[in-house]
Amino acid sequence: MKNLEMVTIIVNDRPVTAPVEAHESLLDFLRNKAGAVEVKCGCNQGDCGTCTVLFQGKAAKSCLILALQAQGKEVRTIKGFSGDSLMEQLQESFVRNGAIQCGFCTPGMLISSYAFLQATPQPAREEIRNAISGNLCRCTGYKKIIDAVEEVALKRTGKQQDKQTTPSSFSEGQEEAKGNYLLLGGG
C-alpha cells in the first residue's frame, strides 16, 4: 500500500490540497493534481527547463522539487500572470521577435525571463544569454529569444521606443507562433 501524505500548495493564488507520494515531484502535482497542464514536462530530470514555474517568487524547475517540499508554498504557472505588465510585454515581444516556434519551451522560457528581468532590470545581452541557459529551445537558435528579452528591458528602462505593435497587427507567421503557444496552454 502506498504511503501518502496530504499537502496544500498555493497554485496561482488557489490552494490545492491532494495526497502525494514521498517521491512525487511538484511538476507531477501541478499537472496531475492541480490541473496545471500548461506546465510542460520535457526531460523530467532538470536539464531542459520546460517545467519552470515561479516558486516563492523565483524561477525554479518544478521537476526538481518534491511536492512535499512545496507544502504551503506559492507557485505561479504561466497562466497565473494575468494583468502582469512585465509578463504581457514579454509575451508580446516573444511573438513580435519570432521567439516562439513550436511553443513547447515558451512557458518556461517566459517565466525564467520574467524572474530574471525582475531581479536585473538593465541587463547586458550576455547576462540575458546566461539567464536563459537553463532553458533549452530546439527551434529558435536562441538569438530571437535574447532579442525579445532585450527589447523588453530596453523599453522598460526607456532606452527604446515602443514599436507600437499590437497583437492585432501581428503578421501571419507571428499569429501562427502565438497560436502554437496558446495551443500548448501558455498565456
**Residue number, 73 or 156, with CB nearest to ligand FES:** 73
Is residue 108 within 8 Å of residue 94, measured between CB atoms? no
Residue 47 is a binding residue for ligand FES (CB under 6 A): yes
Residue 63 is a binding residue for ligand FES (CB under 6 A): yes
Q: In the set 11, 51, 70, 87, which binds ligand FES (CB under 6 A)? A: 51
Residue 43 is a binding residue for ligand FES (CB under 6 A): yes
The set of cell numbers assigned to 132 is 536563459
Candidates 14, 178, 184, 172; CA nearest to 90 is 178
Residue 95 is a binding residue for ligand FES (CB under 6 A): no
Binding residues with ligand FES: total (CB under 6 A): 22
Cα gap 82→88, rounded to integer Å = 8
Contacts 24+ apart (CB under 8 A), 121-124: 121/153, 121/156, 121/157, 122/153, 122/157, 123/149, 123/150, 123/153
* Of 85-93, 95-103, 146-154, 167-175: span binding ligand FES (CB under 6 A): 95-103
Q: In the set 90, 139, 149, 153, which binds ligand FES (CB under 6 A)? A: 139
* Chain position carrying cell 535574447: 146
Range 164-183, binding ligand FES (CB under 6 A): none
Residues that bind ligand FES (CB under 6 A): 41-44, 46-51, 61, 63, 100-105, 137-140
